[in-house]
Amino acid sequence: MDAERRFRCNDADVEARMLDGELMMVNLATGVYFSVDGVGAAAWQRLVAGHRPADIAAGFADRWGVARERALAELAPFVAALLERGLLLEAEREAEEAPELAASAYGPPVLHAFTDMEELLAADPPMPGVIADELTGA
Amino acid sequence: MAAPLVSCVLTTYNSARFVAEALTSVAAQEHPRLEVLVCDDGSTDETAAIVAAHPLAATFSSAPNAGPPVVRNRGWRAARGAYVAFLDADDRWLPGKLRRQVAELEARPGLAWSVTRLRTFWMPELAEEEARLRGQRRAGEVAGYVASTLMVRREVGARFGMFDEGSFTLDIPKWIRAAEEAGLEGSLLDAVLVERRMHAANLTRTHTRACRSGVLDLVAEALRRKRAAGPGA
C-alpha cells in the first residue's frame, strides 16, 4: 500500500452510517454489508475525509502509544479490503476535518463482511449509482 | 365466476403510462379463478380511465395518496382469494407466474409466502443508465424480494401482520425479514417470472435517499440479530 495515497467513499454504490461507535456499510452493487468498530471506524472516517494512511497511522500512534510502523502495517490490509470490496476509491483531493478518535483502546482495524442479505437486497434498493432525488433536490 | 382462488392486488399511482401493460400481463396468466383489484394511491392522471377501458374486468378503488404499503394493505384486506399476489403498475408478470406460485403454495402448506426471480428492463429514456449498468449483478436476473413477485397466503395478514405502513420504501424485504424472524417459512421460486421496469419515475429513483437509508435500517437490524445470537452467528 502506498501510505501517501488519498481516498474517498464510493458514494455511488455505498451507504454508510455510524451508530453507537459502530460503522455499518452496505455496497448496493453487491448486496454485501459490513460492520467495523473501534479503531477501524476511526480509520474509515479519516480515509473518507481524505487523510493519508501515513497520517492516520501517526495519529493512532499519538493517541494510543502504538508504534507508528505497526499502526501502518495493520492499517494496510484494512485499506486493501475496503478497496477490494468497492467501498473506497482513490482520489486526488485535500484532507478534510475528521471526528475525534473515540475508541478507548487500540486494536487492528477489521472489516467484517456479511453476505446473508445478498439476495434480499438484490432487487429493491436503488440501482448502484442512481441518486436521482439529489439531482432534483427532493 | 366461482370464488376466487387468487387475488391480484395491482397498485397504481399516476400509472397511466404503464398500467395497461400490467393489466395485460395479468390477463395473460389465464387463471380461471382470479380477481383483480386495482388499488390506486390518489392518482391525478388517466389511470382510472385506462383501467376502466381495459378488457380485463378489474375492480378499481382509489384513496388519497398514502404510500405503497398502505395501498398494498388496503388491497390485501379487500382480497377474497386464498392467495394474494401483488403487482406494481410499472412491472409485468410473465406467463405462468400465478400458476407456478399457486402450485408451490398448494404443495407446501407450511409456506406463508413465495417470491420469484425477476429481470429488469429499461425504458428508452434511460438508455444511458442501462448501458452503464449492463453486466452488473443487479442488472441481470436476480432474486425478487419485491412486491411484484410476492404471493402470500391471505390469512397470514391477520395472523402475522401486513406491511409496515411506516416504511415508505423497502416494505417487502422488511416484511419478509420480520416474517422469517417470526418463523414463517417462505420460498424463492427459482424462475424468472416478473419483469421490472426502470423508468424516470421509479420510487427508488425519486426517493433514493429514503431507499438507501432503508437498506441501512435492514443492515442495522441484521447486525443486531447477529450480536444477540453471539459470536459465530
Closest residue by Cα to residue B167 from B62, B37, B85, B66? B66
Closest residue by Cα to residue B191 from B94, B123, B103, B84? B94
- Binding-face residues of A in 18-37 toward B, CB within 8 A: 19, 22, 24-26, 28-31, 33, 35
Contact A75, A30 (CB under 8 A): no
Cross-strand bridge partners of residue B116: B189
Instruction: Say if B198 is an interface residue toward chain A (CB within 8 Å).
Output: yes
- Interface test with chain B among A37, A127, A134, A136, by most B beta carbons within 10 Å: A127
Instruction: Say if B142 is an interface residue toward chain A (CB within 8 Å).
Output: yes
Chain B residue numbers touching A136 (CB-CB < 8 A):
206
Q: Which residue among A28, A114, A119 places its CB closest to the CB of B143?
A: A119
All residues at 6 or more sequence positions from B143 whose CB lies less than 8 Å from its CB, including other chains: A119, A120, A122, A123, B115, B117, B118, B188
- Binding-face residues of B in 206-225 toward A, CB within 8 A: 206-209, 211-216, 218-220, 222-223
Distance, CA of B41 to CA of B47 (rounded, Å)? 10
Cβ separation of A28 and B212 shorter than 8 Å? yes
State pLDDT tens for residues A95-136.
999 888 887 899 999 999 999 998 888 877 666 666 555 444
CA atoms B171, A114, A21, A28: torsion sign: negative
State pLDDT tens for residues B190-214.
999 999 999 988 877 777 787 888 8
| Number of inter-chain CB pairs under 8 A, A vs B | 114
Q: Which three cell numbers stand for residue B171?
A: 416494505
Instruction: Say if B131 is an interface residue toward chain A (CB within 8 Å).
Output: no
Interface pTM, i.e. ipTM: 0.85
Task: Quote the pLDDT of residue A132.
Answer: 53
Residue B160 DSSP one-character state: T
Instruction: Say if B112 is an interface residue toward chain A (CB within 8 Å).
Output: no
Alpha-carbon distance values, B14 to B51, B88, B161 (Å): 12, 12, 28
The yes-or-no verdict on residue A137 having pLDDT over 50 is no
Cβ separation of B129 and A127 shorter than 8 Å? yes
Instruction: Say if B118 is an interface residue toward chain A (CB within 8 Å).
Output: yes
State pLDDT tens for residues A29-45.
888 999 998 999 999 99
Q: Chain B residue with minimal CA distance to A25? A: B216
Portion of chain A with pLDDT greater than 70, in percent? 89
Chain B residue numbers touching A121 (CB-CB < 8 A):
145, 173, 215, 218
Answer whether 0.90 is exceeded by the pTM: no
State pLDDT tens for residues B108-158.
999 999 999 999 999 999 898 899 888 887 788 999 999 999 999 999 999
